[in-house]
Structure 1
Amino acid sequence: MLDMKNERWLMEKYNALSDAERGEYALISLKIKRFRVFNRLYNRELGNALVEKVYEALQEWLQPGEYAAQIHLNYFNLLVRISKNYEEIFQYVIRLNQQIRDMPDERFHGKVFCGFGIYHLTREPVDFYIAQYNADVCRSECAERDFKNSHFDVYGQSYHDPVLRDYDLEQIIQPALQRGDLQLYLQPKVDLRTGEVTRAEALIRWIDPQRGMIPVSDFLPMLESTGLIDRVDLHTFEVVCRTINRWLRVYNKKIQISVNLSHCMFNYRYYFDDYRKIHEKYRTPKECIEFELLESIVLNQVERLRQVVDELHNYGFTCSLDDFGSGFSSYSVLSNADLSMLKIDSSLFQNESNPREKVLIRHIVQSAHELGIMVVAEGVETQKYVDYLRQLGCDFLQGFVFYRPMPVEEFEERFVRGNEKVRFS
């Protein structure tokens, strides 16, 4: 009977490493794929033989000062010296996989596939079970993606633990909100008849004291996937209410600001209670606030859309549909909800010479106007589109051709305190 070392034995070897040695090693989590299926197709006796053969192959692979142990059935851990260079890791795993796959036993030759998770140790002591978890999690996340091939991932390189990432984000988001790191930016909406700016969309920019401005793509998807976006949405709404009130008090000027309603709040039955509490605190003129609903979250939820829009309208707010034309646009959304504004997505302003694109834009503008809905063209970057949209009678334009998103202070200086307007040629 083969004397296979166990987890306790490997832990002792792990704990015996000095700080200097530890940085040279990696803990590898290795599992034989479809082991239960193998046992059912053949028998447990042959399954046990397979485990022993894999263990023998691992022992032959190890160099002096390297260790392997069976943790459970078809699950092994290896403590080996391995480079941190990804290309060298790649070649290492190919050779290790070949060592197992091509072992000289006709019963198993070419039939064994494994999953590998690799966690590089650091000089700073890390508990054995934490290292084991890190190796396990990056192996198991993709363990079933391909039955007929082996796979591997490297913790911190090809795999990043979403649990830790989301936990870290949750720990820092509230302090960031309290410090004011998540700042309100406004993108002007230009009136295509007068050139005036009396409307804007509220956007969030994260300006970290150490890292500077963090790209939106680095944090917004995580906020949405974790549900933390609702805190940011409510924070933004409160800042918008305060800002509108201050402009009224200081300049006696009304600016309408639209705020985005995320899918988390849209699908939360009692979402409006939180907004109502904030609004009742500030009593901001209701006509100065508009809620933008993303087309991607309202499609196939027409009844829910009607409920949300009715609730907002009954309270006194207006609603717009954002990103219309970005994907599977449905005119049923327009016919079933009392929307006041439609925003044509930037994807329809990519090719000035495309006559089909112009046909679509024209029909969207005409259809919206016939339904009593105003239209904003967003993401416009060239003068030719400006001219065409003005010719169609489009109401507003939001795009880099005129203005990029800007801090509240700049918006105030240019459009609230001042009367800057666009002059059309």
Structure 2
Amino acid sequence: KAFFYQSNELMKKNPDKRFAVIRMDIYHFKTVNEFCGRQEGDKLLKYISELFQRYIGEYAVAGHLRADIFTLCTKFEDEQQLIDISKYIKKEIDSYEISCKIIPAFGICTNAGNLDISLMCDYADLALNRIKGKVFRVYEFYDTDMREKMLFEKKIENDILPALKNDCIKTYIQPKVDMRTGRIVGGEALVRWQREDGSMVYPDEFIPVIEKNGYVLDVDDYMWDKVCYYIKQLEKKGKTPVPISINVSRMHVYQEDFIDRIKKITSKYDINPKLIPLEITESAFTSEESSLYRKIKSLQDCGYRFSMDDFGSGYSSLGMLKDEHVDEVKIDKTFVDDIATDKGRILLKNVIQMIRALGIDMIAEGVETKEQADFLVNNGCIYAQGFYYYRPMPIEDFVLLLEKSGKE
């Protein structure tokens, strides 16, 4: 409290001067206490506190707010001065003799509009958290873009559950086709958010936010229910439905009731589990593998199929392919795009051959040209989805498309 009061008073008394907050935090400080002992951890904190106190003066206030959080409110002439302070403290911490690696990060907020010190600290904290744990990033400045992003994410958090309640979350389907004939063999369910004023919130804007706050579980449940409902409607009309794969977030997979949730939704509509292949991104297979594999095997034993989405997008999952944990691999769009180069063609050709040799089904994502389609078919990959065939469409339109193709 003393730090906040003194800092606010300092800025009020000197309205003609520029002030900034430098906030420092140590990445995983708890491990210092665990590996080096609490006594050594306390000595380190005392040392850092002394570093900050060196800057206390007529126009500067320092504070040790809690645990490993240190803050300095200081007058400055230019941003380089603030960078130099951060780098100096970092250099002194690096030279401190201790058997643990210490990784400090600094968030900096300049007072551009008579901000209260507590708000400046919050903004500095936002900047700090952008780089916390990144060894090669020492400091980060708070800027208006960061604030706009924070406000946007907060709006997403506030609006997502009402959007579900008011049917503003829409289920779109991108058809999957047999490239040899153009016949629709399935689809992938994709989430879209249409606000009540008709404007769209795009998936890459809201999905990362709801994955962080857990609302992705609610959206997943909503999408699964919609897909199963429409599959059942087709069956009631005497039509033969095609499988519509549903995306399963990494957060959902690690929920204890994941298996029960999936079974409950197919039981509710009494549909064959094979009609809703479960798509999990390749990155999900790289953590807590044993738990994930047990759940996959349990659901496979009940007739569900698993598809690895974004195969080849940056994570290594060859071991998973060897152990037969998936029924299908979705070849990432980056492989398809690269057929314009000799190396790209060689790589994609061999990826297809490897998947075929392992006896795993495959489908190519992001097919946009005839050249890409021809290359894939000629090398043994016959199923695809992409703009060359169909763009994602409302699930109602997809159902009409299936009914129309069934009559032809």
Shift of 1:400: 1.5
Q: State the 1:77 CA deviation.
A: 4.1
Q: In the TM superposition, what whole-angstrom CA distance separates every residue of 1:315-369 from its partner, at most 9, and x where no partner exists?
A: 2222222222222444332231253322111111123343443333333333433
| Residues 173 and 395 in structure 2, CA contact (< 8 A), matched pair in contact too | yes
Change (3 A) 1:416 1:293: same
Number of positions where the alignment pairs a residue of Structure 1 with one of Structure 2: 371
Q: Do residues 415 (structure 1) and 393 (structure 2) align?
A: no
The equivalent of 2:141 in structure 1 is 153
Q: Report which of the two structures shows the higher radius of gyration computed on alpha carbons.
A: 1
CA contact (8 A) 2:364 2:381 kept: yes
Q: Tell me the distance in 1 between the aligned counterparts of 2:45 and 2:300.
A: 61
Cα distance in 1 for partners of 2:351, 2:137 equals: 49
Question: 1:116 maps to which residue?
Answer: 108
Q: In structure 1, what is the equivalent of residue 336 of structure 2?
A: 349
1:392 to 379, 386, 405: 379
Equivalent in 178, 185, 190 of residue 203 of structure 1: 190
Whether contact under 8 Å (1:29, 1:116) holds in the other structure is yes
Q: How does 1:91-240 map to 2 (within 5 A)?
A: 92-94=78-80, 116-118=108-110, 120-121=112-113, 128=116, 130-138=118-126, 140-141=128-129, 151=139, 153-154=141-142, 156-158=144-146, 168-210=155-197, 212-240=199-227
1:4-153 to structure 2, matched below 5 A, reads 7-8=4-5, 11=8, 28-30=20-22, 40=47, 51=53, 54-56=56-58, 58=59, 75-77=71-73, 92-94=78-80, 116-118=108-110, 120-121=112-113, 128=116, 130-138=118-126, 140-141=128-129, 151=139, 153=141
Q: Are the equivalent residues in 2 in contact too, given 1:365–1:394 (CA < 8 A)?
A: yes
How far apart, CA to CA, are the structure 1 residues paired with 2:342 and 2:388?
21
CA contact (8 A) 2:62 2:73 kept: yes
Is 1:261 the counterpart of 2:253? The answer is no
Q: Distance in 1 between matches of 2:377 and 2:146?
A: 49
1:302/1:336 contact within 8 Å kept: no
Would the alpha carbon gap of residues 243 and 174 (structure 1) be closer, same or farther in structure 2, given more than 3 Å must change? Answer: same
Query: How far apart are residue 143 of structure 1 and its match?
Result: 8.8
TM-score under structure 1 length normalisation: 0.71
TM-superposed CA distance for 1:271, in Å, is 1.0
Contact 1:118–1:135 (CA under 8 A) maintained in structure 2: no
Q: Distance in 1 between matches of 2:329 and 2:137?
A: 49
Q: Is the 8 A contact 2:83 2:139 kept in 1?
A: no
1:129–1:309 Cα change, 3 Å:
same
| Unaligned ranges ≥5, structure 1 | 59-67, 81-88, 103-112
Shift in Å, 1:304 = 3.8
Letter in 1 for 2:321: L
Deviations 1:256-293 (A, max 9, x none): 10011211122234311122222222212323111112
Partner of 1:274: 261
Say which SS state the counterpart of residue 293 (structure 1) adopts.
Answer: strand
Partner of 1:29, secondary structure, is strand
Aligned partners of 2:87, 2:292: CA distance in 1, in Å?
55
Map of 2:311 onto structure 1: 324
Task: Calculate percent identity across the aligned residue pairs.
Answer: 25
Structure 2 portions without partners, runs of 5+: 27-42, 89-104
Distance 1:289 1:15, change over 3 A: same
Counterpart-to-counterpart distance in 2, 1:25 and 1:243: 64
Distance 1:390 1:361 in 2: 12
Q: Are 2:307 and 2:326, in contact at CA under 8 Å, matched by a contact in 1?
A: yes
Q: Secondary structure at the match of 1:157?
A: helix
Give the whole-Å Cα distance in 2 for the aligned partners of 1:239 and 1:12. Answer: 57
When residues 275 and 144 of structure 1 are mapped into structure 2, their CA distance, relative to the original with a 3 A threshold, is closer
One of 236, 243, 256 as aligned partner of 1:249? 236
Q: Does 1:358 align with 2:345?
A: yes
Superposed CA RMSD: 4.3
Aligned CA distance change for structure 1 residues 191 and 27 (closer, same or farther; 3 Å): same
